[in-house]
Amino acid sequence: MMRFASLGSGSKGNATLITAADTAVLVDCGFSVKETLLRMARLDFAPERLTAILVTHEHGDHAKGVMALSRRLKVPVYMSAGTAIALDCIADVQVRVIDLHQSFALGDVHVHPVAVPHDAREACQFVLSFGEQRLGILTDLGHVTPHVVSAYQAVDALILEANHDPEMLAVGPYPPSLKRRVGGPLGHLSNGQSAELLSQIDLQRLQRVVISHISEQNNDLSLAESVLAAAIPGHEAKLQINLQDTGFDWCQIQPL
């Protein structure tokens, strides 16, 4: 059985836990080690169970605590060469450089990296599978590419970015350069772009969509939820929110 939970999501830090049989993977660690351990305890997760850390890209909200946590727990870190160079850790013994065109196994979990358009050196996201069960993690991309649409078909659960509402971003407090970055093709998905992705994927197996990386200043939770709900008629009850402070509690993928 595959289970997943979030330690928190948003521009101040992201980290997602996935467990399946004896494997436990952390995707990103944008919190300090102390904060990460506190949040793991909140989820009743024993840190010594961790098998590996996967990193999507070098931005601080995803990578801040990665190397320190890896050393503390003595677990390897998997990331693209570009991310390792950007984090200046390519020679670190704990780092395993991955090829974004190549799937690989981490114990019982199969990892399928997906390259995404984002303003980082070599950003990716991941689809993780355990037997037939597939969990997609998809945040930090400026637009949805055909490669993304095909990689996330028929997932059982999806952790999906709905970062901003374009109008709220336009009139919001960010300086013009940051507005252009966030709303641009290498920035973050708007509610509408996330809805567009949902409308393009096969919903047959879909059990859960966790709305994530929501901007606290340029979005509104109920607005994001309603825009995504409109894209998946009949499946609205599967939507759930991932918050910066509380993340979300364990969610188990049910066998079909």
Give the interface with Zn ion as residue ranges (CB under 5 A).
59, 61, 140
Smallest distance, Å, CB 125 to Zn ion?
11
Cβ contacts of 21 within 8 Å, gap of 6 or more: 107, 108, 130
Token duo for residue 154 = 């028929």
> CB-based burial of residue 150 (10 Å sphere; 0-12 exposed, 13-18 middle, 19+ buried)?
exposed
Rank residues 20 and 211 by Cβ distance to Zn ion and give the closer one: 211
Nearest to 205 by CA among 151, 132, 138: 132
Smallest distance, Å, CB 67 to Zn ion?
17
Rank residues 17 and 214 by Cβ distance to Zn ion and give the closer one: 214
Rank residues 56 and 133 by Cβ distance to Zn ion and give the closer one: 56
Smallest distance, Å, CB 97 to Zn ion?
19
Smallest distance, Å, CB 213 to Zn ion?
6
Which residue's Cβ lies closest to Zn ion?
Answer: 59
- Distance, CA of 253 to CA of 256 (rounded, Å): 9
Rank residues 18 and 120 by Cβ distance to Zn ion and give the closer one: 120
On whether the CB atoms of residues 14 and 139 are closer than 8 A, the answer is yes
Give counts: helices (H), strands (E), the chain: 9, 14
Smallest distance, Å, CB 118 to Zn ion?
6
Please report, as a single letter, which amino acid is at residue 168: M
Smallest distance, Å, CB 221 to Zn ion?
18
On whether the CB atoms of residues 75 and 92 are closer than 8 A, the answer is no
Rank residues 14 and 129 by Cβ distance to Zn ion and give the closer one: 14
- Distance, CA of 44 to CA of 15 (rounded, Å): 15
Rank residues 122 and 140 by Cβ distance to Zn ion and give the closer one: 140
